[in-house]
Amino acid sequence: MTVTRQRIAALLVAAGLAMPLSAAEIFYMDHDLLTGKYVGDVGPLVLSGEIVSGDYDRLLAKIALDPGRYLEQNKLIVASPDGDVPESLRVAALVKALLSEVTVDPQTGPCVGACFLIYAAASERASDGPRLIGVHRLPGAGEFLAVNGVPAPLLAEIARHTREVYWLTPADEQALGHRSPAFARYLKTRCAWDAAVERDVFSGKTEFAALSAPLECRARATQSDARQALARALAGRSSGR
């Protein structure tokens, strides 16, 4: 066990949760991904390794140790070679409820198989390079993926690849979109978000001021709603649901 895993294990023992050796590591990024320099534990939360039973509770416990720290960025970096589908669905549901962004980076590793459930459920998602998002058939997860807006052609690839991994192409990533349909609806409903105005701002056609009010609304709404969702998740754990 590495020093990092020892530190995580100590925190989780304090929270009353056991940590099997095969569990995913859950820690705050302490190195700049671009420079590799140590910056302290100020980066986003990372979930790294095979996803196994109990990882939902461990992730929730890690966030609960300092909710403000997690929700300030509300971002999760995932790097997993695969894992347990039911547990990944639980993690994905938590990520969706918290309105969290999910990213995959070549410095931390790819997101494959069951990990894609978490990526697909994110409010916004991004990967930085080729062969970082890998999929294959996931028994019992088809409806979840469809509900979360995974395009039909990609669903077909997932169903077709029973053993081999299919790596998402840039075209697949573009079709999937950086923002989930559910989060796009959320922004429109809560903040009158206009996707056309957003595109015009980032293409330079419109002044950034056009997004000021929607961005302020987004920050207020997502923080408030994420805190409420976290409270519900913690209450559910306490009641054994």
> Is 50 part of a structural domain of the chain?
yes
Find out whether 85 and 51 touch, Cβ atoms under 8 Å: no
Give residue 180's region: left, alpha or beta (phi > 0; psi -120 to 50).
beta
> Is 26 part of a structural domain of the chain?
yes
> Is 212 part of a structural domain of the chain?
no
For residue 198, what pLDDT band results from cuts at 50, 70 and 90? very high
pTM of the model: 0.87
pLDDT for position 35: 76
> SS3 of 41, please?
coil
> Is 220 part of a structural domain of the chain?
no
- Domain extent for 103: 3-178
> Is 76 part of a structural domain of the chain?
yes
Residue 193 has pLDDT above 90, yes or no: yes
CA distances from 9 to 50, 59, 64, 71 (A): 16, 12, 15, 22
> Is 198 part of a structural domain of the chain?
no
Look up residue 84 and give its DSSP letter.
-
> Is 229 part of a structural domain of the chain?
no
Residue 238 has pLDDT above 70, yes or no: no
Residue 4 has pLDDT above 70, yes or no: no
Q: How many domains does the chain have?
A: 1
CATH classification of the domain holding 110: 3.90.226.10
> Is 186 part of a structural domain of the chain?
no
pLDDT by residue (tens digit) across 53-97?
999 999 999 999 999 999 999 999 999 999 999 999 999 999 999
Find out whether 165 and 112 touch, Cβ atoms under 8 Å: yes
Query: Pairing relation of β-strands 133-135 and 101-104?
Result: unpaired
Please report which residue ranges of the chain form alpha helices under DSSP H: 3-14, 55-65, 67-73, 85-97, 115-121, 142-147, 152-160, 170-176, 181-191, 195-202, 212-239
For residue 241, what pLDDT band results from cuts at 50, 70 and 90? low
Cα–Cα dist 222/105, whole Å: 24
Query: Pairing relation of β-strands 124-127 and 101-104?
Result: parallel
